[in-house]
Structure 1
Amino acid sequence: MSDVELSQADANELIAMPKIRITDEIRYFPGSGGALNVPLVSEDWREDFVLTIRRGRIDLNRGSYQNIGRNTVILLRAELNGPPHRNPDDAEIPCPHIHIYKEGFGTKWAYPFPTDFANPADYWTTLQDFIKYCNIILPPKILRGLE
């Protein structure tokens, strides 16, 4: 997504930084083939972030959640019910998996889902876990809506 290169220390700092919603606007979880981009900021309002939610067109449990910093740098991406990912070292990581920014590689490396994700098969629970994993301490107001 980006040609911007961050040091690993900067990326780690952005990932760990507490994030908050910008508005109290109520948003709806996207339906089939939909997407939602939610702007966030650091607590001191010095850094901008985006939480993105994408849903599969046919398989509603397939999709991804991303935390983007510095306007274009994907810091974290959770992929749900998709194909396995082949890492640069040729290791294959089954889905669901998480991509974490790695200096020099961006998000080309995938890792098994963290154990603190309660139920990776449930997209709504996984979104709540991803929000916590991204350190979004004042999360956006997202309603499930109708499937």
Structure 2
Amino acid sequence: MAEINLTQQEADKLIGMDKFLTDTTNITLPIAGEKLTLGCFSLNKREEFVLDCFRGTIKLSKVTHQMRARKVVPLVRLDIDAAPHQNPDGTEVGNTHLHIYSADYADKYAVAVPNTFTNLADIAQTLIDFMKYCNIKNTPQINGGLF
């Protein structure tokens, strides 16, 4: 699959764009080692997005939520209880961190998780907070809960 590079302006526009899930029926969180993938679209339906939720196999507290644009471009990724991350400039962030697309580093740069994420120990709440962070406007009922 070809790599798609975005300008910072394009990435910021895609991240800030209102998004809508294609299916708003109840979501059941993935079990250990499984992945949940949901389609999203922009209001004018010109842009398509993919929301991924991965669950760790051995370490159930390890979770990744990711928002992709154009099927392959990771715009935002939340890693919970993963390995500490070293950024390309040598700075480090802890086990739980947020990657935001950068024209210089793609998804290789991470920052501390903002306090808009209200309870990182609750996978359902974290997914709701991630959807809000990514501007998904039609958040469905989520079945699942604490790690």
Q: Give yes or no for contact 1:99–1:108 (8 Å, CA) kept in 2.
A: yes
Mapping of residues 1-147 of structure 1, within 5 Å: 3-144=3-144
Q: Which amino acid aligns with 1:138?
A: N
| Structure 2, unpaired ranges of 5+ | none
Would the aligned equivalents of 1:30 and 1:53 in 2 still touch at CA under 8 Å? yes
Residues in 1 aligned to 2:127 and 2:96: alpha-carbon distance in whole angstroms: 13
Q: How many residues align?
A: 146
Deviation for aligned residue 1:44: 1.2
Percent same amino acid among aligned pairs? 38
Give the Å deviation of 1:84: 0.4
SS in structure 2 of the partner of residue 131 of structure 1: helix
Shift of 1:2: 6.2
SS of alignment partner, residue 137 of structure 2:
strand
In structure 2, relative to structure 1, the CA distance for the partners of 1:2 and 1:141 (3 Å cut) is: farther
Q: Greater share of strand residues, 1 or 2?
A: 1
Structure 1 pair 58–109 and aligned structure 2 pair: CA distance change class (3 A): same
Q: Deviations over 1:9-31 (max 9, x none)?
A: 00000000000011234431100
Contact residue 93 and residue 111 of structure 1 kept, 8 A: yes
Equivalent position amino acid for 1:86 in 2: Q
Supply the AA of the counterpart residue of 1:27. I
Poorly superposed stretches of 4+, deviation over 6 Å: none
Separation (CA, whole Å) in 2 of partners of 1:8 and 1:64: 23
Q: For the residues of structure 1 that align with 2:7 and 2:76, how far apart are their CA atoms?
A: 15
Unpaired runs of 5+ in structure 1?
none
TM-score (norm 2): 0.92
